[in-house]
Structure 1
Amino acid sequence: MSDIETIFETARQLDPELRGAYLDRACGSNQELRAEVDRLLAADDHLGAFLESDVFDPDATLPDLPPSAAQTSSQPAEAAGDQMGNYKLLQQIGEGGFGTVWMAEQREPVRRRVALKIIKLGMDTKQVIARFEAERQALAMMDHPNIAKVFDAGMTETGRPYFVMEYIKGIPILQYCDHEKVDTRGRLDLFTKVCHAIQHAHQKGIIHRDIKPGNVLVTMHDGVPVPKVIDFGIAKATNAELTDKTLFTQHRQMIGTPVYMSPEQAEMSGLDIDTRSDIYSLGVLLYELLTGTTPFDHRELLDRGFGEMMRIIREETPHKPSTRLSSLGETASRTAEQRHTDIRRLGLILRGDLDWIVMKCLEKDRTRRYDTANGLAADIQRHLSNEPVSAGPPSASYRLRKFVRRNRAGVLAALAVGSTLLLGLAGTTGGMYWAVQEKDRADLAAEQALEAQAVAQTRSEELQQVVEFQSAQLSGIDVAQMGINMRQDLLENARLVGERLQENTPQIEERIAAVDQSLLGVDFTGWAQSTLETNVFLPAIDAIQEQFGQQPEVRADLFTSLSETLHDIGLLDLAEKAILESIETRTKQLGESDPQTIDANMRYGMILTDLGQLDRAEQLFQNTLANAIDSQGEDSRSAIDVRYHYATLQFAQTRYQEAADMYASTLEWYRTHLGPLDGNTLGAMSSLAASYNYTDRQVEAEQLYSKAIDGMTELYGRFDQRTIRALNNLAGLYRSMDDLPRAAEIFTEALELSRTTLGEDHNVTLMLKDNLGGVRYNQLDFDGAWQLTNEALEGRKRVLGPLHDATLRSYYNLALVNKDMKRFDASISLLQQALPGFERVYGEFHGYTITVRKELSNLLFQEKRFNEVETLFLNEYALFDHVPDAPLDRKRSLTNNMAVLYRHWDQAQPDRGHAEKAAEWKARFEAMDPEPQADP
C-alpha cells in the first residue's frame, strides 16, 4: 500500500471535521500529494461510503447513486442487473477505498449467491491492480472453513479485474460480540478459530498483514457463529511471488492499518516482515475483544501525527488489558455489560492468564511473541481448561491455583458444609473445611521437586527462579474477595442442586435463602485466610526448608517473598516466622550490614508494628537504621526505606510530628531518585498527608492527598483499589476539617468506584459505606446515615462474620444512629449483640469495650430497665476478681454507678430494698482510694 493509499484510507474513516487537521499533518508541504488525496476523497464521497469495510449485508437499504458518482471516469459504473461472465450483479453490498463488492448470482455450472469484488473506476493504478491480484491469488491458495473461498476471476469489458468469492452474510467480529453480548469465553472460542485460519494461511506461505475486526466477519451456520477471515489485499508471500505484477514495497512505505500494525511494520526500514507480525495484530484484536478498546487509542494516534504515531507503535508499551479496563471510566460499565458481566468480575477474568497472553503477543521484540498462531490458540485453550499457560510464570503455586479451578466441582464438594445444607434441608452450617486431596499434595510436591532441580544448576538460574516464584506466589491476593467468592460458590451450589432436583423457581429461591441464612455467622475472610494458611502457606514453608536447604540465598529470598504475602493478607504470626528464617540465613551468608539483611530486618519491624509490639519494633528500627547509615550511607536506598517504615511506626505511636519529619525526608528522596509517578513516591506523599492532618497542617495535607490521587490515577487508573483508598483518605481529611459537603462528595465518588470495580460486599466498599454513613450522621441526615450504616453492617456480617472488628464497629455505629432517631430498643439490641464480641476480640477492659458498656447502660438506664443495668454492672464488677490488670479507675467509677443505679431504682420502685443497696455501694465507693477520679 503506497503512502497516498494509506493517507486516503485513514482519512476516509475520519469524521469530516477531523480530516483537515489529519491531512495537514500527513501531507505536510506536498501539495501534489494533498491534491491527489482530496481528489480520491471527493470521488469516494460521491460513490458513497456505505460501510466501513467489506461487510456483506444483503438486507441493507442503499440509496440511489447520484449522477456525479461516475465522474472519476468517462465510462459508466456497474449497476444492478449487469452481467459479468456467468455472474449477474444483484446489489452492491460493500465498498472500500479502491474496490466495491457486489452480491451476484452465479447460474452456471452451479446456481448460487456469490460475492464479486471489482476495482472502482478511476482507481485502477498499477499498485492497486497488483494488490488486487495478490488478494485473489492468496485466497485461491487457501482452503479453510474460516477463510473466505475464491471461486473465479475475470476482467470487465473496461479492462478492470474482478474476482468471485464466497458470499458471506456477516458482520465484523467485534460488532457481533458486542451486539450479542458474547461473554469472554465465547469471544475466546471465536478468536481461536481466527487463529487457526491465520495458521492455515501461514502454512500456505501467506502473511495477512492487516488483521483487524473489519477483516474478520462472523456469519451464522446452523445457528452457530462462524468467523471468516477476509481481505488478503495486502497479503505477502513468504516463499513465493503471489503475482508477477506485485510491486516491490518502496522505502518507508506503510503496510496495514496503523492501530493494528506491528512494530516491525511501523519501522518501515526494510526489516523483513514474517508471520510474527500477524501474531502481534492478533494480539491487538484479542485486546479489543476483551476490553472494547485497542492498546493505543485510534484517535490519539492520529492526533500525534504520522511520525509520532509510528514511534509510539515501535517503542511504547501499552497497558495490560486489566489495567486499561480500570482506566476507561464510564465506558468500562458498558464494556462489561457487553461481555455479560460487571466491571469487577471482568477485571478478575482479565488479570493473570489473559493479561499474560495478550502482552506476549504485543512484545516489541518479535522473538518473544508466540512462534505460531496455533501456539497462541493453544495457550488460550489451556486458559479455558484451567491449565497453566505458557505465557505465565510456571511456579508451583500458580499451577496449584489452576488445579483448583480445573477441579472446581470436586473442590467445592470437599467443602463439608453439612450434607443437609447442600441438599437444601433445614439446618445450620457445620464442619466447614477446605480439603485438598492427597493427589493434589503429591502433584504439588512433584512440581516443587522439579523446580528445585531447575534452580540447582547455576546462580543465575537460581535468581530467575526467585523472580518467577515471587511474581506468582499469590501476589496481590485479596482474601476478602476470596471469602466473597467462597460464599457465592456455596449459594450457586444450592441453586444447582435445586435445578437438578427440578424444583420450581420459588422452591429454589427458598433453598438459597435457607443456605444464605445459615451462613450468616461465618467469617468467610477468616475462612479464606485459614484455607490458605493450612493448604498453601504452611506446606510452602516446609517445601522451602526441604527443597532449598543447599541454596541458602535462594531460600532466604523465598522466605522474604512469602513473608511479604503473609503480611499483606494478615497472617502475621506466620509472616514473622518466615521473615525470621530469612534474617537468620542472610545474616549468616551475607552479614548483618548487607542491604538484603537490612531489608529483611526492616520487614520484620513492619510486622512487629502491625502485631502491636511497638516497643520491640522501635528498638529494631533504631538498630536497623543505624546499621543502614553506617554501612550504606545516609542517602542510600536502604536507609531511606528503613526511615520510611520507621515513620510508620512513629505514626502508630501517635508521634505525628516525628513521623511527618521522617516522611518528608523520604518523600524528597523518592521523588528525586524514582520520579514523581513511582509507587513509593505516591505512597510517601499519602503518608505525609496523613501526618500533616494530625499536626494541624490540613491545607498542606489536602494538597498532598490531591497530588497523590492524581498520580495514582495516572499510574494505576481511577478504578484501582489504591486510588480508591487514597480518595477515602482525602474524604476523611475533609471530615476532620468539618467540610462535610466536600467529604460527602469524595466519599460518594470513591464508593461508586469501589462498587463498580470491587462489588457491593468487598471490604473497601463496606468501609466506604460506613464512612459515608458517618458523614451523613454528622450532617444530621439520620435516614441517609441509617441506610448506609445498615448496609455496611449487613455486608460485614455476611462477609466477615459477626466477630470481626470491622463488623463490631458497624454494630456500634448503627446503634448510635438508631439512638439519635429515637429508636432506643433497636439501639439497645445492637449493643447487646455487639458487647460479647467486643469482650472477646478486644478484651473485657479495652477502651472500646468499656465505651460499648457505657452506651448500653445509659440507654437501659434511660428506658428504666434497671434490672438489665444491674445485671450488666454486676457481670462487669465480677471480672475484677479474674483480671489482675483491670483498670482501678474503672472499678471506682463502676462502684459509684452501682450506688446511683440503686438510688434511682428506689425512687421508681420504693420499698424493695434498693435504698439499702444504694447505701452499701456508696459506702464501698467512699472507702476506695479517691484517686483517680470517678467518671462524671
Structure 2
Amino acid sequence: MSASSPAPDSVRQRPATRLWVQALAHLDELLQQQPEQRERSLTDIAQSQPHLHSMLVSLLAAEAQAESAGFLEPAPRMAAALQSGAQLGPYRVESQIGAGGMGEVWLARRDDGLYQGEVAIKTLHPYYGGGALRERFLREAQILSRLTHPNIARLLDAGVAGDGSVYLVLEYVRGVSIETWCDQRKLGVDARLELFLEVCAAVAQAHASLVVHRDIKPSNILVTDDGQVKLLDFGVAKLTQTDPPAERSDLTRMTGRIFTPEYAAPEQILDQPITTATDVYSLGVLLNVLLTGTRPYGNANNNVEIERAVVQDEPVRMSRAIAGASDPRRIAEARSTTPARLQRALTGDLDNIVSHALRKAPAERYPTVLGLADDVGRHLQHQPILARAESLAARSRKFVRRHRVGVAASVFVALAVGVGIAGVVWQAQVARTEARKAGAIRDFLVGIFERNSVAHPDGAKARQTTAAELLAQSAQQIRTDLREAPEVRQELLGVMARLYSTMDMQKDALPLLQDRLASQRTALGNDDVAVARTLSDVAFSQVQIGDYEGAQRSANEAIEVFHARNAESALEYALAHGTLAQVSYRLGTGQDGTMRRHYQKAADLFAQYHPAHKWRIEMLLGLSRAANLDQDREKGLVYAEEAIALIESQAVDADGIVRGSAYQTAGNALNWLGRNGEAEVLMKRAITEYDHAGGPEHPFAIEGRRELGAFYGWMGRREEAKELLAAAVTAQERAKGIDDPELTAPLRIELGRVLLLRGEYAAAEPQLLKAVEAWRRSGTPTVGITMNLARMYMEQGRFTEAAQMLAGADSAAEKAFGKGSWMHATALNRIGGLHLARGETREAEAYFQRTRADAQDPPGELGANRAYAELSLLRLSAMQRDSATAEQALALLSQIESSSARGDMPDEEVTAHMLSGIGLMRQGKLLEAETHLKQAVTMRERMDAPESLWLAEARLYLAQQQYLAGNRDVARGLVDRAAEAHQTQAHLGPQHRELMKETRRIVSF
C-alpha cells in the first residue's frame, strides 16, 4: 500500500509547490478580510512577491465567480465532470478511485517528464463550485499545507483547471483501513497497540500544527503493504488558530456537524466547542474497535440512537464487551488468541486507558494525544499507567443520577432482605463446625511447608527437601497421627491424593485413596455416595498405574452405588464411565463397543451436569479415539474439532494440558486422513501447550513428542523421529520408571519401530522387548509389538522366533480390532512376509491375497497395508521372472503416488520404484530402470541407517543395472557398501545372502 510516487519529499520542495502552499495559506486570510483590507494586503504582496500576487488574484476571481453562481444552484457555466485521460496541469487523469457527496478522487500520473509516479487528485463536484463547500475544500488544502509527517498523506501540489475549478494533488496511498489490515493479518493485541501508536503520532503532529482532525475513524486511516499508517481526509478538520468559537462562518454553519456519529465525541453531537480532546475521544473509540471489534455503545446503525448513547450512556468496558459478544470466538481468532485470553489481556490497564479516553467531559480525558500514547506505551513495556478506573464514589453518583427511581426502590428491597437474615441464624452453628474442621486442615497444610522453612531447627538442610519428600512425610503423618479425628483424616487423605495425582504420582496417590476408602467404609458403610466418589478416584489411579482389572472392579462398584443413591449427577459418576472406557481401550476390547458406549455416557453426563468442566473435553477426545478404532476417521476428527470449539469459545475451563490434548487428538485424526501438513501444525501446537503448562518433561509433553515422533516415522523423517523419541524415552524413564506400562512402554514401541524401519536392529530389539514385558505384566495386548519384532526377525533369518511372535496374531488382531482393520491387515502381511522370507511362495501368496480382499481402505483409495500386499505379490512375480512385472509395478507406483495416504507410505513407494526398476532391467530397458533404482536408493539413504538391509537391497539391484549398463566401477562400489551393511548385522536372513550372491555373479567379482 505504499505510495508509488517517487521521492515525495523532494517533490514537496519544488518552487511551484511551495508557491501553492503559500497561496492557499494567504487565501484563507484574504477571504476573512473586508474588501478594503484585502486590497491593501494584495498591494503589499504584489510589491514583494509578484508571482504569489498573480496566483492569489486568479484564486480570488475563481472564488468570486463560484460565489456569484449560488450555493445549491448549478453554476451557469458549470464545469464539465472530469473524465479519464483528462489533463490537469502536468497530470494525466487515469481512473476514478473515490467519490462522495461533494467531490471526487482520481488516480493520476504526472507526465511532464520531471518524475514518474502515481498521485491522487481531489476535485470539488461541479455542482458545488462555490460557497461553503468550496471554502471547506480550500480549507483542506490550507490544513494539509501545514502538515509534514510520515504518517499523514501529504499535499504534493494544487492547481486551477482551465474552467476555474480548483484541484488538490495528494500523495496516493494504496492500502486498506487499519481495522481491515489488522483483521486480515490476525494481529494480536500488542501488535495492534503498536500500530495505534503510529496513528497517535500522526494526530499529535496535527495538533502541534494547531489542527484538530474531527473525523478519526478506520476508513480515514489506511495501512500500506509494508505496514505504514497513513492518516487521510482533513476535509472537516478545524484550525484552532483561525476558528474562534464566537464567530461562525458559512463553513462552520455548513459543516460544523459533519462527523461520523459512531466515532464522534459528545461535544460534537451537542455542537459544543471542539478541542484536541475531541480527537482523543475518537482515538479511544478507534482503540476500542481495534481491540474488540465492537464500538463502546454497541453496533446499532440508527444515528439517533447512537448519538443518544454517546451523550447519555456509559461505554461498555472492553473486557465485558468480549464476554457479552455474540461471537467471541470469531473476535478472538482475528486477534490470534482465545476469548478467555483476550478478555484477560483487556482487563485492567487497557480497560482503564480506553475508559479514560472516553470520558464524557473533555477536561476529564487525557489532556493530549501524547498522554494517551504514553499510557499505551507504558502498558506495552509493563510499566504502571497513569489512567485509573473511576472511583466507586464517582461511579455511584453517576448511577444514582441515571437511576433515581430504581435506587429508591432498592432501599426498600434492602430493608426486606434485612428482615430475612433472622431466618438463617441457625446456620451459624453449622458454619462454626465446618470452620473448626477447615482450621485443622489449614494448620496441617501450613505445617507441611514449615518443615522446610527457617523455623525448622536445621533450616538449611530442611530447605533442600523436595516437594515429593514433603508430601511423603505429610502422608505418613496423616495415616499415623490423625486417627482420633476421622473426618479431618479422610479429608486430608483426599487432599494429599489429589496433590499426588496433580504431580502425576499415581503410585503414591493410590495407597492414600485406598486408606481413605477403608476409613469411609467403616464410618459410612459400603453404599454411601462418599464411598462411591472415592472408588471412582481409586479406579482412575489404578488405570494410570496399569492395574486395569482393579480399575474395572472399582469403577463398576462406584457406578452401582451412584445408581442406588440416585446420584448420577455426581462428577465422579461420569468419571467412572470414562475410566471404564479407558480400561476397554487398554485391554484391547475397544472394537466391541464398550469403549465407545462408556465415553458417550460420560460425555452426555458432562454436557448435562458439568458443561464447563475440563474433563468434558477428555470424553470427547475418547470418542474420537473410539471412532478411529471403528475406522470412522472423519467422525474421529469431528469429535476432536468439537472439543477444540468448546475450548476456544471458553465454554469449558480448559488448562494447557487439556488444550494440548485436544490439538494432539485432532492432529492424529488429520494424520489418519492423510492431511499431514495440518496434522503436524496441530501436533506442534499441542507440544507448545504442554511445555507451557508443565514443562518439557511433563508426562503429557513427553507423550506429545511420542505422537510427533511416530508421525515423523510414518512419513519417512526417521532421523528426526529417532532423536525426538530417544530424548522422550530418557525423560519418561526418569519420570515414570523403566517398566511403566502406561507411558514409558508406548514410547519404547515407537522408538523401537523407528529404529527397526531405519534398519538399526541391534538398537530396536531391546526397546521392543522391554515394552512387551511391561505390557504383559499389566495385561495389555502385545500383538502390535510382537508383529514389529517378527518383521525384524524375518529380515535377520530368525524364522523360529518370528513364527513364535506371530502365532495366533491374525486371529488375535481380528478379535481385538475387527476383520480388515489396520492391525488385522498388518498381521496378515507379517505372516505372509514370513512365508515369503522362508521361500514358501504358495502360503505367502494366500496371506497377501487375504489382505488384498479384507483391508478396509476408503473407497477408491489405496492404503499402506493393501499396498504392501500388492507389492509382495509383485515380488513373487519378480521371483518367477514374470515379464509383466515392470508394467504392474509402474501402475502400482502411480496408484501410490496419487493416493491421499502417500505421505504414510514412503517404504511402499520405495519398493514400487525398486520393483519397477527390476522389471525394466530384465526387459533390457536399462536407462528407464536406472531412474527408478536410483530413486529407490536415494529415498532409502534419506530414511535409513547405513546398516539397513533394505538400503543394501536397493543398492544391490542398482549395482546389477549399473554393471549391465557398463558402469562397472560404480557397480562394484555399490556392492561394497551393501556388503558393509551385511557385515554390521549380527544376523542376516537367507533372502539377503542370496541376493548378494546373485549380484556378485552378475558383477563378476
**TM-score, normalising length from structure 1?**
0.39
Higher relative contact order (CA 8 A, sep 6+): 1
Q: Of the two, which has the highest radius of gyration?
A: 2
Give the TM-score normalised by structure 2: 0.37
